[in-house]
């Protein structure tokens, strides 16, 4: 369908307006997003609150549709306002132009990750309200900052605040990933990310010598052990077609720093590894192995590890009424879904950490995965179909 045929669709135009706000890292300005969301709240006839759990530059915006039984735990529909950097020279359309081509593809940073989901929530709420629907549970629609760089200025402090506790959240929906097939992935857990920094000390001196216990030798030993472990995970993934990337542990050397010039053996080398532990890995045993390898390498190695333990996954059986409601909605809609462990990190980890069940789901099937990529797009008909899907899911969840 030609782009001109979408110009009269109100929901598509709202979506494009939101996409044109360049809330882009490394220095996102969220104020235009806040003003846009205030106008959306006014149009929807919903109260809106702006919280600042970290500082005034990182607002959390929450629209609320009150339920008929306000004492029940509420439903949270979460999305993030920030988007990753762009390289305009690699785009065929302006990354914040929200252009629509002849195929109905809407090109913009955030079209998949994840301004689409936030606006689909609002479009679904608008449709439900226009039909005169009311639900037992209160629905909160949150728009948070900072997710793309870890959420430490957004959802992480927000879940620990009194403001969040007063929302009385019982269940949360957040982002998933587009699917190139007809199947919709549903994410119930995330791997445990461990940023591991090794500070490796060793003998220093002239490069013409063969000194023992140099930092380079120790780094080589550590790297060989970690790459051996990595190779085992690659083999698991290759040998079992049922496994996905979220089901295995990934290990990657991301940076090495050290040295002053080519003929001087440095006294210190710092190496950073991005490690994401699958749910079947015993975290304490893995950390013990790291300590053992440091000793085997020659000792005098310090290592630092971010976040230590697995966050419990969301229960996906009949004991979780929210899972049952979600599953029933997708089955009634005839959607083919597949439970998966999210390979990266989303704000759902903070929600689950405080004991609230959360699912990641983006209604984008038959769509190439383009999050963080050049020419990120979503088709207009896929977007509008997603609005219809959310209407059913939200209605089911809010009446649990």
List, for residues 162-183, the tens digit of each pLDDT value: 999 999 999 999 999 999 999 9
Query: Is residue 42 over pLDDT 70?
Result: yes
Query: Is residue 2 over pLDDT 60?
Result: no
Q: Phi first, then psi: what are they for 21, rounded to 5°?
A: -85, 115
Positive or negative CA dihedral for 15, 16, 21, 25? positive
Give counts: helices (H), strands (E), the chain: 10, 17
Are 173 and 216 contained in the same domain?
no
Name the percent of the chain lying above pLDDT 90: 95
Are 89 and 129 contained in the same domain?
yes
Model confidence at 7, pLDDT cuts 50, 70, 90, reads confident
Are 212 and 357 contained in the same domain?
no
Residue 106's DSSP bridge partners are: 100, 378
Are 172 and 211 contained in the same domain?
no
Give the mean pLDDT of 68-84: 98
Give the mean pLDDT of 330-357: 96
101 tagged catalytic: no
Are 86 and 39 contained in the same domain?
yes
| Residue 191 token pair | 């791997």
Measured between alpha carbons, how far is 69 from 88 in angstroms, rounded to an integer?
49
Domain CATH number, residue 101: 3.40.630.10
Model confidence at 1, pLDDT cuts 50, 70, 90, reads very low
In the chain, the number of structural domains is: 2
Q: What is the pLDDT of residues 184-221, one digit of tens each?
A: 999 999 999 888 999 999 999 999 999 999 999 999 99
Q: What is the pLDDT of residues 210-257, one digit of tens each?
A: 999 999 999 999 999 999 999 999 999 999 999 999 999 999 999 999
Query: Is residue 4 over pLDDT 60?
Result: no
pLDDT at residue 82 in the model: 98
Q: What is the pLDDT of residues 302-332, one digit of tens each?
A: 999 876 789 999 999 999 999 999 999 999 9
Give the mean pLDDT of 78-94: 98
Taking the CA atoms of the chain, what radius of gyration do you get in angstroms? 24
Are 41 and 57 contained in the same domain?
yes
Catalytic, out of 11, 146, 147, 247: 147
Catalytic, out of 11, 82, 190, 247: 82
Are 204 and 294 contained in the same domain?
yes
From 273, 305, 337, give the residue that closes a domain: 305
| Residue 173 token pair | 């929906």
From 305, 339, 368, give the residue that closes a domain: 305
147 tagged catalytic: yes
Are 158 and 198 contained in the same domain?
no
Q: Which residue shows structure tokens 């971010």?
A: 306
Measured between alpha carbons, how far is 172 from 162 in angstroms, rounded to an integer?
18
Are 231 and 247 contained in the same domain?
yes
From 277, 305, 333, give the residue that closes a domain: 305
Alpha-carbon distances, residue 107 vs 65, 83, 114, 193 (angstroms): 31, 14, 13, 31
Q: What is the pLDDT of residues 255-265, one digit of tens each?
A: 999 999 999 99
Domain CATH number, residue 213: 3.30.70.360
Range of the structural domain that residue 132 is part of = 3-190+312-398
Are 58 and 76 contained in the same domain?
yes
Alpha-carbon distances, residue 20 vs 13, 14, 99, 104 (angstroms): 11, 10, 10, 17
**272 burial level (CB within 10 Å; 0-12, 13-18, 19+):** middle
Q: Are 129 and 375 in contact (CB under 8 A)?
A: no
Are 360 and 214 contained in the same domain?
no
Number of Cα atoms under 13 Å in the Cβ half of residue 155: 28
Are 186 and 219 contained in the same domain?
no
Q: What is the pLDDT of residues 122-158, one digit of tens each?
A: 999 999 999 999 999 999 999 999 999 999 999 999 9
Q: Are 351 and 155 in contact (CB under 8 A)?
A: yes
């Amino acid at each position: 369908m030609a782009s001109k045929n979408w110009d009269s669709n109100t929901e598509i135009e709202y979506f494009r307006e939101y996409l044109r706000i360049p809330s882009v890292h490394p220095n996102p300005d969220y104020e235009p997003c806040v003003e846009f969301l205030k106008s959306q709240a006014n149009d929807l006839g919903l109260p809106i609150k702006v919280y600042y759990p970290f500082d005034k530059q990182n607002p959390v915006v929450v629209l609320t549709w009150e339920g008929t039984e306000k004492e029940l735990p509420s439903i949270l529909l979460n999305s993030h306002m920030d988007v990753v950097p762009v390289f305009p020279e690699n785009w065929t359309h302006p990354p914040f132009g929200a252009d629509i081509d002849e195929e109905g593809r809407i090109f913009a940073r955030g079209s998949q990750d994840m301004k689409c989901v936030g606006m689909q929530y609002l479009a679904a709420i608008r449709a439900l309200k226009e039909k005169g629907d009311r639900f037992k549970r209160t629905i909160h629609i949150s728009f948070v900052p900072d997710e793309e760089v870890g959420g430490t200025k957004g959802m992480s402090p927000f879940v620990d605040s009194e403001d969040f506790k007063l929302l009385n959240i019982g269940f949360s929906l957040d982002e998933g990933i587009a699917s190139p097939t007809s199947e919709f992935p549903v994410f119930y857990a995330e791997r445990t990310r461990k940023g591991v920094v090794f500070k490796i000390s060793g003998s220093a001196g002239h490069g013409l010598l063969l000194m023992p216990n140099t930092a380079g030798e120790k780094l080589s030993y550590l790297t060989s052990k970690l790459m051996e472990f990595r190779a085992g995970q690659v083999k698991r993934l290759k040998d079992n077609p049922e496994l996905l990337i979220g089901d295995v542990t990934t290990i990657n050397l991301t940076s090495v720093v050290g040295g002053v010039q080519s003929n001087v053996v440095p006294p210190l080398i710092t190496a950073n590894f991005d490690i994401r532990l699958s749910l079947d890995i015993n975290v304490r045993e893995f950390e013990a192995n790291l300590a053992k390898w440091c000793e085997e390498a020659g000792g005098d190695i310090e290592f630092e590890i971010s976040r230590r333990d697995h966050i419990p996954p969301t229960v996906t059986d009949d004991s979780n009424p929210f899972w049952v409601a979600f599953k029933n909605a997708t089955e009634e809609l005839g959607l083919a879904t597949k439970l998966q462990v999210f390979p990266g990190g989303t704000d759902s980890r903070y929600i689950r950490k405080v004991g609230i069940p959360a699912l990641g789901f983006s209604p984008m099937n038959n769509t190439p995965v383009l999050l963080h990529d050049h020419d990120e797009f979503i088709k207009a008909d896929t977007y509008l179909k997603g609005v219809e899907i959310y209407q059913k899911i939200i209605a089911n969840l809010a009446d649990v």
